[in-house]
Structure 1
Amino acid sequence: MKRFFKIFMRRFGNAEVSNSAVILAWYSLLSIFPAVIVIGNLLPIFGINARTVLDYLQTAVPADVYRTLAPAILSFLQRGSGSLLSIGAVVALWSTSQVVAAFQRTVNQAYGVGENQNAIANRLFSFMWMILVIVIMAIIILFFTLGQVVVKQLTPLLHLSHNITSVVSSLKWPVTLSLLFVLLLLLYYFLPNARLKWRYVWVGALLSTVAWLSLSQLFSLYVDYFAKSVTTYKTVGSVIVIMMWLDFSGIVILTGSVLNASIQEFFSGKIIESRQSLHWITKIWRKNNKRSDDE
C-alpha cells in the first residue's frame, strides 16, 4: 500500500492536476453557452421541450450553479437562430477541442508518455470526442423525454400499470451514472498515448463517476456554509461559483486518470508508450483485416 501511495503521489505531481484543472475549467466555461445554442437549435427537430434539458441539468450540477445557469440557458434554448447555430457550433467546436487537448496532455503526463506530434490527428481526435459527448447528452435527453412519451402512449394499449411512468422517471440517476461511467471509461482508455488494458482503466472511471456526482450534490453545501459571501455579488459571484465547481470537477476527473496510471504501474510495471497516431484505430483496422484473411 505504501508503494502504491508513492506511485500515486509521484504521478499526481507529474500531471500537475491542480494547474491542469484550471485550464479545463476555463475552456469548459467557454464551451457551455455555445453548446447550449447548438442544442437549442436542434431541440425543435426532435420535438423536445427546453425545460426537459433543465431537468437533466438540475440532476447533474449543484443547486447554486443550476440557479445561475438556468435562466440564461432557458433563454438560449427557446430562441433558435440559424446564424447563432453556426456561430455556436464553431465556438463550441474550438473550445471543446481545447478541453480535450488539455485533458489529453495531462493524461499523457500522468502516464509519463509523450504526446502525438501529428497536429491534424489531434484536432480530428478532439472533434470525434466532441461528437461523442453530444451523442451521449442527446441519448440522455431523448431517454427522459421520448421515453416517457412512449410509455404514456403504450400504457393504455398494453394495459400497463400507470406507475410505469414514475419508474421511467426514477431511472434518471442510474442512466446518468451509467452513461457518465461509459464516457469516462472511453476517455481514460483511448486518450492516453500509451498501451493500456481495460482492467486498469475501469477503477478510475468508476470512482471518478461516483465522486463527480457526489461533488455536484455536496457543492451546494460548501457554498451555503463556506462561500455564502461570494454568491452575494450576483453575476460576478455566480461566475466564481461556476468556475469553482468546474475546477473541482476537473480535479476529480484528472485524478481518475492518475489513479489508473498508478494502478497499471503497480501491477504491471513500466508503462509503454504507443507511438502510433491514433493507435487504437490502427488496432481495430488490423483486427478486422485479420478476420477477413482467416475467412
Structure 2
Amino acid sequence: MKLIYNLKNNVSKHKNKKWYRFLEELLCRIKEDEVTAIGGQLTYFLILSIFPFLIFFLNLLSYTSITQKGILSNLLIVLPIETQILLESIINEIMNSSSQTLLSLGIILTIWTGSLGITSIIRAVNKAYNVKKKRPYWRLKGLSILFTIILALLLMLVLTMLVFGEIIGKKIFAYLGATHVFYYIWELLRIIIPFISMILIFALIYKLSPTPEEGLNIKFSQTLPGAIFTTTGWIIASMIFSIYVNNFANYSKTYGSIGGIIVLLLWLYITSIMIVLGGEINGAYASITKGTGVKDCDEEGK
C-alpha cells in the first residue's frame, strides 16, 4: 500500500509539468489514432510503391555518373541479409533492363504508383494532427507525386554529395598535406550527411502534409522532434531487427523461399510504425504548445 501511495504521490507531483503532459498526450494519441493499425495500412501501400519508386529512381540514376553498384550496398546496409539478397536481385534486374524507353513511357505510371506510400503517409500525418478536412483527391495525389519526385531528387543529391564530396575532399586535404586526417573526417561525414538528409525529408513531410485549410501554422522547427525521432528510431530499430534476423531467427528455414519477403514485410512494418509515431510526436507537441492537450484527446475517445 505504501508503494502504491508513493507512486500516486510521484505522479501527482509531476502532473503539471510539460514533459508529463506531453507523454500523457502522446500515449493517448497513440491509442486513439490506432498507430499499429495505421502502420499496417501504410506497410501495404509501401509494398505497392517501393518497387515502382526504385524503377523511377534507378532509371534516373542511370543518366548520372554515380555508380549504381556502389550505392546499392550503402542503401541496403541496415537491412537483414535475407532482405538484402532479395532486394539486390530485384534491383539488379531493374538496372539491367533500364532503358530510355522505360523511363520516358512508364514514368507517369511509375511515379503515380510510387506515390501510393507518400499518399498514405500524408493521411497518417493529418490524423496525427487531428485534421478533419480532407484534400480533394486530385490535390492529394498531386502533392504525393511532388513529394515522390522531390524524394528521388534529394536521394540523388545526397548520393552526389557522398560521391563527389569524397573526391573533392581528397584533393583539398592532399593539397594541405593531411590526407590521413581526411579519412577520419570522411567516415564521420558519411554517417552525418545521410542522417541529416533523412531528418530534413521527414521534417518537410510532417510540415507540408496537414491540410492548410485547417488553419494550422506549423513551423519547420516544430516538425524536427518527430523527424529526429523517426530517423533515429528507424536506424536503431532496423539495426536491432537486422541483428535479430541474422543471428537468431532463421526465416528461410521456417518459410522457405519466401523467407526474404517475410523479413521485408516485417521491416516495412517497423518503418511504418516509426513514421506514424514521428507524426504523433509532432501532433502531441503542437497540442501541448497550444494548451489544448489531453482534454481534446479524451473527448475524441468518448
Q: TM-score range by the shorter chain?
A: 0.7 to 0.9
- Describe the SS at the equivalent of 2:154: helix
Structure 2 unaligned segments of length 5 or more: list them. 1-18, 294-302
Tell me: CA distance 1:244–1:122, structure 2 relative to 1, closer, same or farther (3 Å): same
- Describe the SS at the equivalent of 2:179: coil
Offset at 1:243? Answer: 0.8
CA distance in 1 between counterparts of 2:116 and 2:31 reads 22
**Amino acid in structure 2 at the alignment position of 1:266:** I
Q: 1:85 aligns with which of 99, 103, 118?
A: 103
Tell me: CA distance 1:224–1:161, structure 2 relative to 1, closer, same or farther (3 Å): closer
Are 1:99 and 2:117 matched, yes or no? yes
Tell me: CA distance 1:259–1:39, structure 2 relative to 1, closer, same or farther (3 Å): closer
**Amino acid in structure 2 at the alignment position of 1:117:** R
Q: 1:266 aligns with which of 269, 275, 288?
A: 288
**Which residue of the partner structure matches residue 173 of structure 1?**
191
Offset at 1:51? Answer: 1.1
**Amino acid in structure 2 at the alignment position of 1:201:** T
**Amino acid in structure 2 at the alignment position of 1:53:** I
CA distance in 2 between counterparts of 1:93 and 1:175 reads 26
**Which residue of the partner structure matches residue 203 of structure 1?**
225
**Which residue of the partner structure matches residue 240 of structure 1?**
262
Offset at 1:249? Answer: 0.7
Are 1:189 and 2:207 matched, yes or no? yes
Structure 1 unaligned segments of length 5 or more: list them. 272-295
**Amino acid in structure 2 at the alignment position of 1:228:** N
**Amino acid in structure 1 at the alignment position of 2:57:** I
Are 1:9 and 2:31 matched, yes or no? no
CA distance in 2 between counterparts of 1:237 and 1:87 reads 34
Q: Is the 8 A contact 1:148 1:165 kept in 2?
A: no
Report which of the two structures shows the higher radius of gyration computed on alpha carbons: 2
Tell me: CA distance 1:229–1:240, structure 2 relative to 1, closer, same or farther (3 Å): closer
CA distance in 2 between counterparts of 1:231 and 1:269 reads 53
**Which residue of the partner structure matches residue 7 of structure 2?**
none
- Describe the SS at the equivalent of 1:171: helix
**Amino acid in structure 2 at the alignment position of 1:74:** N
Report percent identity of matched pairs.
25
Deviation sequence 1:81-115 (CA, Å, 0-9, x none): 23332465334322332212211222222221123
Offset at 1:200? Answer: 3.2
**Which residue of the partner structure matches residue 53 of structure 2?**
35
Are 1:54 and 2:76 matched, yes or no? no
Q: Is the 8 A contact 2:80 2:246 kept in 1?
A: no
**Which residue of the partner structure matches residue 41 of structure 2?**
23
Tell me: CA distance 1:150–1:211, structure 2 relative to 1, closer, same or farther (3 Å): same
Offset at 1:210? Answer: 0.6
Q: Is the 8 A contact 2:53 2:110 kept in 1?
A: yes
CA distance in 2 between counterparts of 1:181 and 1:130 reads 16
**Amino acid in structure 2 at the alignment position of 1:209:** T
CA distance in 2 between counterparts of 1:231 and 1:149 reads 44
Q: Is the 8 A contact 1:21 1:254 kept in 2?
A: yes
**Which residue of the partner structure matches residue 278 of structure 1?**
none
**Amino acid in structure 1 at the alignment position of 2:284:** S
Q: Is the 8 A contact 1:28 1:95 kept in 2?
A: no
- Describe the SS at the equivalent of 1:238: helix
Q: Is the 8 A contact 1:31 1:96 kept in 2?
A: yes
Number of positions where the alignment pairs a residue of Structure 1 with one of Structure 2? 271
CA distance in 2 between counterparts of 1:107 and 1:100 reads 10
Tell me: CA distance 1:264–1:76, structure 2 relative to 1, closer, same or farther (3 Å): same
CA distance in 2 between counterparts of 1:123 and 1:81 reads 27
What TM-score do the two structures reach when normalised by structure 1? 0.80
Q: Is the 8 A contact 1:61 1:216 kept in 2?
A: yes
CA distance in 1 between counterparts of 2:272 and 2:34 reads 12
CA RMSD of aligned residues (A): 2.6
- Describe the SS at the equivalent of 2:63: helix
Deviation sequence 1:180-224 (CA, Å, 0-9, x none): 001111111111223323443211111111101111211112224
* Larger deviation, residues 5-14 vs 120-129: 5-14
Offset at 1:266? Answer: 1.9
**Which residue of the partner structure matches residue 289 of structure 1?**
none
Deviation sequence 1:258-289 (CA, Å, 0-9, x none): 11111221232248xxxxxxxxxxxxxxxxxx
Are 1:76 and 2:94 matched, yes or no? yes
